[in-house]
Amino acid sequence: MSIPRSTTLAVLAASLLGVTACTADPVDTSTNANAKAPAAAIPQQQVDQTLHDQLPEKIKTAGKIVAVNNGSFPPYVIVGTDKDTSIEGATADLSQAISQLLGIQIEHTTVDGLASVLSGMQAKRYDLDLGPTGDFVERQKQATFIDYVQEYVVFAVHKGNPKGIDGLDTACGKRIAVQAAGSAEKVIKAQSTKCVAGGKPAVEVQSYKDQPSSILAVQSDRADAFFSSQAPLTYFVAQSGGKLELAGVGKGNGFDDLFQGALVPIGSPLADVLLGALEKLHANGTYDAIMAKWGLEKNKLAKPGLNLGKS
């Protein structure tokens, strides 16, 4: 469900301030805004020579892995002003820890959309996308997923939920913002068809290129809700100055178990290397520390895995 975003968090904060009549607080990109206690320090990693030796010779010779992302997906990925090199968030912290473990630099670049990520990897311009990106069986035909979080799909609505949106069945006749070409868009369009078949008004699906545009559509009352992953929506709600809340929490909302993770080209040896690195970060407490720092405790997996998506 990730879509290209070149917007920095500072710009996003400014946009939110403009929409909410200067009631929202500035976005804090250094720590989780919802943290109830200071986040634990992220442990430094020592090079794991076994994992390093498993890297492809091309990468060891270059001294770097070229990682691509398709824009801000907070609190996982927050793209900075220099979008080719600067990212923050849980994924950035994992990237740093993996880089230390492998003894290799991870270089980041941003492109527009998952299709560009996949085509760029197939053309060997990029080695991987650390995501997290939704793992679905149809996508496993194009890439191998190294899953490290579990996600849920909910709605961000106006405070008090005046439209009474509490799941897919209550979306009929509502204006629902989604990210264009994402899995949530597919689900909400299918729900619209179901609404009409049941004699109810269709969903007015509003597809936006990125998350900031989608959430701002709700803030400015052009949409009744934004339908997307719970973790980033929780982040946006926390930055809304009390103007938004979550709805439809704890329901399937058209999705079975939704796993998300990194992706590499099919057949790439990096799949096993990344899996080994994530397993080590789980074992030594680094994964837990990163997830706690960004308020993602409820999204943790007991252990990472390859191609866990079954839907």
What's the CATH number where 285 sits? 3.40.190.10
Range of weakest confidence among 9-13, 73-77, 197-201 = 9-13
Picking from 228, 247, 266, the residue at the C-terminal end of a domain is 247
Tokens of 21: 């009549």
268 plus 213 within the same structural domain:
no
Q: What's the number of domains the chain is made of?
A: 2
Range of weakest confidence among 38-47, 126-135, 136-145, 241-250 = 38-47
Reply yes or no: is the peptide bond before residue 26 cis, omega within 30 of 0: no
Query: Within 10 A of 175 (CB to CB), how many other CB atoms are there?
Result: 17
Picking from 201, 225, 247, the residue at the C-terminal end of a domain is 247
How far is residue 245's CA from residue 15's CA, in Å, rounded to a whole number? 18
Give Cα separations from 174 to 25, 253, 279 (angstroms).
29, 15, 43
Domain contains 212: yes
141 plus 274 within the same structural domain:
yes
223 plus 273 within the same structural domain:
no
List pLDDT tens digits, range 100-151.
999 999 999 998 888 899 999 999 999 999 999 999 999 999 999 999 999 9
96 plus 159 within the same structural domain:
no
CB 272 within 8 A of CB 151: no
How far is residue 183's CA from residue 293's CA, in Å, rounded to a whole number? 27
162 plus 224 within the same structural domain:
yes
142 plus 265 within the same structural domain:
yes
Domain contains 252: no
Is residue 223's pLDDT more than 70?
yes
Domain contains 71: yes
pTM: 0.78
241 plus 168 within the same structural domain:
yes
145 plus 158 within the same structural domain:
no
CB 28 within 8 A of CB 95: no
62 plus 117 within the same structural domain:
yes
- Site of tokens 């178990």: 257
List pLDDT tens digits, range 149-198.
999 999 999 999 999 999 999 999 999 999 888 889 999 999 999 999 99
The whole domain housing 80 covers: 49-151+257-306
pLDDT band, residue 60 (cuts 50/70/90)? very high
Domain contains 289: yes
